[in-house]
């Protein structure tokens, strides 16, 4: 079992990460429902000159987050011998990507789920 100070440190770290994430969302304006719906409405691309009424800013926010995450993962192993709240880094032993034939089946499964969920989620979105 972990000790109370170690558990408090983990909870504090998780809380501060969530606070930083939410501050980034607020600063980028991604808490505004119209901004998110403007990104999700890809049919708006054809309405007017490119990008039309489509709002690509969410893609830039997500791209920036992916870049920061990749840099953090790359630097973490170089800068620290062990994580602060664990004995070792937990890295997967199998680093190969799944079989090439599994990708279309996975995408079909996600697409089928989204097609059925769209019917249930659409009243909630609009």
Q: Which of 74, 94, 95, 76 is nearest to 86 (CA)?
A: 76
pLDDT at 31: 85
Q: Which of 104, 82, 102 is nearest to 91 (CA)?
A: 82
Computed over every residue of the chain, the mean pLDDT equals: 77
Average pLDDT score over residue span 88-108: 73
Return the residue matching tokens 């600063």: 27
Q: Tally the C-alpha atoms within 13 A of residue 79's C-alpha that lie toward its C-beta.
A: 7
| 3-class DSSP assignment, residue 33 | helix
Q: pLDDT (tens digit, 9 = 90+) per residue, 1-59?
A: 557 777 788 788 889 988 988 898 888 888 888 888 888 887 887 787 767 778 888 88
User: Above 50 in pLDDT, residue 126?
Assistant: no
- d(CA 33, CA 12) in angstroms, rounded, equals 29
Angle at 69 between CA 6 and CA 111, to 5 degrees: 110
- d(CA 24, CA 76) in angstroms, rounded, equals 21
What is this structure's pTM? Answer: 0.56
Proportion of the chain above pLDDT 70, given as a percent: 80
pLDDT at 119: 54
Average pLDDT score over residue span 60-85: 82
- d(CA 126, CA 123) in angstroms, rounded, equals 5
């Amino acid at each position: 079992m972990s000790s109370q100070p170690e558990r408090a440190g983990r909870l504090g770290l998780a809380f501060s990460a969530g606070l930083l994430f939410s501050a980034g969302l607020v600063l980028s304006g991604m808490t505004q429902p119209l901004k998110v719906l403007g990104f999700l409405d890809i049919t708006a691309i054809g309405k007017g000159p490119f990008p039309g009424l489509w709002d690509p800013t969410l893609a830039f926010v997500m791209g920036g987050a992916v870049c920061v995450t990749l840099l953090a993962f790359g630097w973490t192993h170089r800068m620290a011998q062990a994580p602060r709240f664990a004995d070792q880094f937990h890295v997967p032993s199998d680093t190969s990507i799944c079989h090439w034939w599994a990708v279309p089946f996975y995408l079909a499964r996600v697409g089928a789920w989204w097609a059925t969920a769209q019917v249930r989620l659409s009243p909630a979105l609009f």
